Amino acid sequence: MQLRKVYLKGAAALAAIAALLAIATVLQGDFGETEGKIFATIAATFVAGSAAIAGVACLAQGSRWLGHAGVVLATGGFLLWVEEIWAGHDSGAYWKVLGLVLVWTLATLVGTTSTLMARTQGRLHLATMSCAAAAAVVVSIMILGENGDLWQLFAVLLILTLLGEILIPIMERASAADARPSERELGALGGVSVVAVRMAGKRVVRIGDDEAPLAADESVLLRRS
């Protein structure tokens, strides 16, 4: 849970910084080539920063190969893309390299984020990673062959990947809710057990057959009479 908080806070900080930089650029006035390069750099920073933060979080969690891949691809991809944004190379081979790095950085980002989110949904996590890797392979073939005939297969794999990214946190929350015990013994006083019971939509104290509702700011104390 702590690792997920670190990732989410880091991604939120990057998004906030990117937004502030974008606003400052817009407020400068005219939008020209330099401003376009600034926006492109902001986008590259956000993607690379998110991938790097997720990679570091995976390293701390123990997913070493995935974490290292995320950090290396994020760092290398950021440097390559920023250099291209400001230098403006015309080489087709260089653009292929940039495309491949971006594709595999995004695929690795899917793997790292799903790893951080998944605790009980191991099969769904593996399926999501497999779809992301397969989509990256298909796009890589399309980039290297300069042929878009496989776009339908890529679209299907991309949809399945996004579906997995959406379902993992939902299923994790559902599993966590199901795992909570319906009753929890809080203690005993004078031979009487005090038990917390899950009751949907109700906060009451039940003594025998009598129920007394509790307000949102009230708690229950037991005292010896």
Question: How far is residue 217's CA from residue 203's CA, in Å, rounded to a whole number?
Answer: 11
Would you say residue 162 has pLDDT above 70?
yes
Lowest mean pLDDT among 134-138, 182-186, 206-210: 182-186
Q: 8-32 in b/e burial notation, b at 16+ Cβ within 10 A?
A: eebbeebeeebeebeeebeeeeeee
Question: How far is residue 75's CA from residue 58's CA, in Å, rounded to a whole number?
Answer: 16
Residue ranges covered by each domain of the chain: 2-179, 181-225
pLDDT at residue 23 in the model: 76
Give the predicted TM-score (pTM) of the model: 0.67
Question: How far is residue 133's CA from residue 157's CA, in Å, rounded to a whole number?
Answer: 9
pLDDT at residue 21 in the model: 73
25-51 confidence digits (pLDDT tens): 677 666 667 777 877 888 888 888 888
